[in-house]
Amino acid sequence: MFPYSTIWQPLFWLSMGALIVFFFSNLRYWLGDSGITMTWWKWLLLSCWLFLLALVMGTSSCGRLARQDEDNVLHIIHAGSLSLPVKALTEAFHEENPDIRILTEAWGSKAGARRVADLENRADVFMSADYMVIENMLIPEHAGWYVPFATNELAIVHTAQSRYADEIGRDNWMDILLRGDVSYGRSNPDMDPCGVRSVLAVKLAAKKYDRPGFADSLLGKDTEHIRPKETDLIALLESRHLDYIFLYRSVAVQHGLPYLQLPDSLNLGNSGLNPWYRSVNTETMGTTPGETITEYGEAMVYGLTIPHKTENPGLAGRFVAFVLHPEKGQQILKAHGQDPVRDFDFPYEDEVSGFLNGNEHE
């Protein structure tokens, strides 16, 4: 009736209630003037009829309001590393669309993709820290395309209280992380792209510096600290349970954490080095039990999609166009440490041309 009003809807129902009271209080006089004699069973039938009429009207109105409300709710599942950027994006989008509600869920990207694919929950937009998660896990059964929307790079993050924080640098971080009195953390590569990228960066370091056995030694150390997504590690770091964590540089910037910036040859942030990045790989869990996927190194490209299961494609399309808009979503992402994607060829440009031009995709 008045789905977004805090005043008119209660006033309407108060008026309806007053009208019903007025009707019943004067009904016997109207009936008497009309010469109609009422018995107890006639009053009972009339009351039942009026009750059923009110019930039907109320149920119809509630159902219509519920449908209208759901039509204006946007459900977003996103990577944990996007928590603060998504908060800023949704707040800005809501300012342009004050009559909507936005619900968000943060997961490791792979866990989020499984939630989109496996569970009967709403998902209007899915935002992944790795476009290949969408390609490998959702297309074509659960989505028809992806579009790249941000970049990032890997860093080694610490606090001022971390052991050897005043010593660590590009020339000694490998040895420091291997020390027995140092603890470090990374996310689960079966659930989170940051975990995959941490493994790949370690393998690249072993290859670049000709350190046979380094990757196995470091990846076999402190495995009890592996967490489902990279942002789960921040609390362990800040509480001094960990000295160092592999984390996206953007997240370190957003949380004001000091970090060691890795060289481009290791940070997976330079698309011009993709041939070098692809010289290493790792095996991760696939979409079905027992299946594995071979994942090769590649410069970081975040991707998003509108799943087939969306119940609000129009609103989802408007949000995607907002994220991709160079003066809106892209500026917000840049302010949170994530630059736009440049010179990236992907096979769905025709499908998402409306989004790329800053318009809602039809």
Task: Please state, as a whole number, how many other Cβ atoms lie within 10 Å of the Cβ of residue 67.
Answer: 11
Residue-level pLDDT at 50:
65
Residue 310 pLDDT > 80, yes or no? yes
4: pLDDT strictly greater than 50:
no
CA atoms within 13 A on the CB side of 206: 18
CA 277 – CA 270 distance, rounded (Å): 9
Stretch(es) of the chain classified as CATH 3.40.190.10:
74-151+301-356, 154-296
Going by pLDDT thresholds of 50, 70 and 90, the confidence category of residue 59 is low
Written as six digits, the tokens of 203 are: 């393998």
pLDDT tens-digit series, residues 192-218: 999 999 999 999 999 999 999 999 999
pLDDT number for residue 55: 65
Is the pLDDT score of 54 beyond 90? no
pLDDT digits (tens, 9 = 90+) for 111-159: 999 999 987 789 999 999 999 999 999 999 999 999 999 999 999 999 9
3-class secondary structure, 76: strand
The domain 74-151+301-356 is placed in CATH, from the list 3.40.120.10, 3.40.190.10, 1.10.630.10, 3.60.15.10, at 3.40.190.10
List, in sequence order, every beta strand (DSSP E) within 176-280. Answer: 184-185, 244-248, 259-261
The answer to whether 123 and 309 have CB atoms below 8 angstroms apart is yes
Q: Is the pTM of this model over 0.85?
A: no
> What are the residues whose beta carbons fall under 8 Å from the beta carbon of 136, sequence distance 6 or more?
286, 287, 293
For 154, other C-beta atoms within 10 Å of its C-beta total 23
pLDDT in tens, 320-352: 999 999 999 999 999 999 999 998 989 998 888
154-296 CATH choice from 3.40.190.10, 3.90.79.10, 3.20.20.105, 1.10.3720.10: 3.40.190.10
